[in-house]
Amino acid sequence: MSAKITSIGLKSGGFQFEQLIAKHPLTSEQQHQLQCVSIKKGYSNRVQIKIIRLARTIADSKGEDRISNETLSEAFGLRQLHY
């Protein structure tokens, strides 16, 4: 599923970024980690949304209510393996 730019905003797989963050918020530490890795690796906003969605999927598969630091790190690792 690719992200689409609309007049409303950035969408990824039918989820607007604002909805994704509102429903599955990251801690300030996780936001900082995402920002630092994204700057270092040159990740676009689209890629960051995909990482958050992947982390949410991993958390769901583990039965977790929130995205943990471990699931976010696992999502980063899977992203690196994919590309």
Tell me the C-alpha distance between 53 and 75, whole Å: 9
pTM, to two decimals: 0.73
Q: What percent of the chain has pLDDT over 70?
A: 76
Q: So where are the chain's domains? A: 24-82
Mean pLDDT, rounded, of the chain: 80
Tell me the C-alpha distance between 33 and 39, whole Å: 10
Tell me the C-alpha distance between 3 and 10, whole Å: 7
Phi, psi of 10 (to 5 degrees): -75, 130
Asked whether the predicted pLDDT for residue 6 surpasses 50, the reply is: no
Tell me the C-alpha distance between 14 and 70, whole Å: 26
- Give me the mean pLDDT over the 74-78 stretch: 93
* pLDDT at site 36: 93
